[in-house]
Copies of this chain bind each other. A is one copy, B any other.
Amino acid sequence: MRAALMYGAGDVRVETVPDAALAEPTDAIVRVTAGCICGSDLWPYASKKPSEQGSRMGHEFVGVVEQVGDAVTDVKVGDFVIAPFVYSDGTCDFCRDGLQTSCRHGGNWGGTHGDGGQGEVVRVPQADGTLVVVPAGFDEALVPSLLALSDVMSTGYHAAKMGGVTAGQSVAVIGDGAVGLSAVIAAKLLGASQIILLGRHTDRTDLGREFGATDVVPERGDEAIARVRELTGGDGVHVVLEAVGLGDATVTAIGIVRDGGSISRVGVPQEREAPFGRPEFLRNLTLTGGVAPARHYIPELLPLVLDGTIEPGRVFDRTVDLDGVPDGYRAMADRNALKVMVRP
């Protein structure tokens, strides 16, 4: 079978790899209908040291189950399934608490020992705990939005849930990437009455408006802070959903959040420390968020995709086949594409 591997910064290749095969009785084999390239894939694409051994890529996919191990009971051959961006056993205490990202037997897709979603077929560990079956079965029109549940939509929703967004609140979303736009959808779902999207790519912020953003702030830094405060009567928003991960975004978040408010971050932090000292303490600010347990949210979000309430798949603005994956990385890194879908 064929799959994408990253050998270093800027170096993604599509190669023939060993066929995916059952290794544990809890495994399933899933043929990938659609995978995609993640904003988080761009960090190693920018900085990974060259290596002789490539890393298998892709942690978001939907597909059809081709085989299951003897211990798999819930997932059946032929099921159309969504894979969250980490696998998890579904039975440990963390999974039962809805924190599948801390599963005692979970792990990451791809790398040097696992299959990734940017390939033809994937061995899925802990299949019953990991995969979510789409009850309606395969539907071509829904593929993009179901695929978005793998990561970006669930991540945006995690931001909003951890931030405690409730009806009538004002929310700011920092970042107009696929996660930021998904966070707009999430804030709207939870009833936010004002949703301010901070981003400067007009095509993306236009989509953000369609998703529910009431205001767009293209400014950055102090100017962005001033603008959001102006839009909120001087006091800032109840909740900031931070979908960037850079320190500047945290500083902006602190500047635009109302006293007593929350900054919920789902952009992977690129810095070791957060500027959360006495001023933030005196303002009763909360710093929350983290890596999203997508598996926890997919069952809740799936019906909303199936009935058309949300269409997170609109974040995909380019589709490539497997051979097009290197081009897809380039397009996303150069900001020529918002999010690239891969149809192997």
Contact = CB atoms under 8 A, between A and B. Distances in A.
Nearest to A274: B276
Contact of A259 (B94, B268, B280): B94
B277 A273 contact: yes
B102 A260 contact: yes
Interface stretch (A123-131, A140-148, A283-291, A326-334): A283-291
Interface in A261-281: 265, 268-278, 280-281
A102 B268 contact: no
Nearest to A102: B259
- Copy total for this chain: 2
A39 to B, nearest CB: 15
A281 B260 contact: no
Contacts of A272: 275, 277-278
A97 interface: yes
A282 interface: yes
B282 A291 contact: yes
A243 to B, nearest CB: 13
Nearest to A270: B278
Contacts of A278: 268-270, 272
10 closest residue pairs by CB, A with B: A284-B290, A102-B259, A273-B273, A272-B277, A286-B288, A274-B276, A99-B260, A287-B287, A281-B290, A269-B277
12 contacts: A102-B283, A102-B284, A162-B286, A271-B277, A276-B276, A281-B290, A282-B290, A284-B289, A284-B291, A285-B290, A286-B288, A288-B288
